[in-house]
Structure 1
Amino acid sequence: MKTILTSAFILCACLMQAQDKYTSAMLKNIDALYKSKTSEEYQSSVNAFDRIASTEKNKFEPYYYAAFGNIMMAVNETVPGKKDNYLDLASANVDKAKTIKPNDSEIIALEGFVHMIRVTVDPQSRGQEYSGKAFTAFNKAVALNPENPRALALLGQMQLGTARFFGNDSSEACATSGKALEKFASYRPASALAPHWGQVMAEEVKSTCK
């Protein structure tokens, strides 16, 4: 019995050490990702998350943050083909994250973010298809977790863009972004690796409101 308990303790200690190494590596690279300004810096972070994902195949977080990094590179890219390439990579990572953790509000919101940036490549030809997909994803993310401020911030951004495109009133976007900011004020991350981006997006939309 003593041998069994000792073996169990050693196994538990090894698992905790591995988990701590994973968390430490993730936190380091998440911090670098949030501080990134250039495509080169974003790419460096994405590469790091890809390496972590290759060894931590049952963890959704590396895929989530790799997707986020690719989305940000797409946002900064001006060449349509390159923008789509980044979004293709982001979409692939979102799909992997969804396989590990289905129906997660944060992941579904990120999926909508991919669709939203697809619209910007060519609003005239893509607006109908990808706007619909983005709204569907954002509304689903809010339904899955009404307390998720990122889902609301992204929804507000989409509402504002749509209102401007059609020359409509932006009051809906203002209300949604106001709600997002309320949620950000009370937001408590579920874990150390939980996302905490998006507040600036909501503030930018809200700043356009009267």
Structure 2
Amino acid sequence: MTSIPEDIEDFGADPDGFDIDAWIDQGARPRREVTVYRSWDLLEEYERLVKQLDEDAAADDESMGEVSIREQIEDVIARMEASRLVFTVQALTGEELKALAEKAPTKPILDDDGKPMLGTDGKPRKRVDQVTLGDMTAAAAVIKVTDGATGKSKSTISEKQLRKLRVTLGDGPTYGLYRAVTELAQAGQVIPSVPSSREH
């Protein structure tokens, strides 16, 4: 016998009882959570301590009254967790991406000598500033930013704040955030195999 899962509303067995607007209103875009750490120097400290422990497990001895290596590792992990931000990002539509690209600043295309290349109309050729567009796109995709230390959240981040984050931490630590935004544009195109009904 086929039954409808409890979290899915029954819109009716006949076409007249089906409210497609209600069905659409229950939908949600693909989302993903991405963690970014503020204090990346702690990762180096963590790796150093783990290596030290691996090389000499006997060194993890508290008999001399010193803090053990394991305790130091736990402390570093706790400090890393306190320095994290969790970004919740959702997929943007093609129309939204196009609108962002149209608003993004442009810069001249330069030749090998650093001079602006000219188009057939004699005017300098330009292209969209891809770095700025990336910041704009990521900022638009963020629907929540949560502080790992306090649990407090904000529903947005500005393009300027996102750029400052990227410049301060570097491209590496923020790469996961930008990659997630890009991948979400393709999310949902391949439908997973989900049972269409349940047998009871």
Using the size of structure 1 for normalisation, the TM-score is: 0.24
Choose between structure 1 and 2 for higher RCO, CA contacts under 8 A separated by at least 6 residues. 2
User: Structure 2-normalised TM-score?
Assistant: 0.25
Greater radius of gyration (CA): 2
Q: Which has more helix, going by share of residues? A: 1
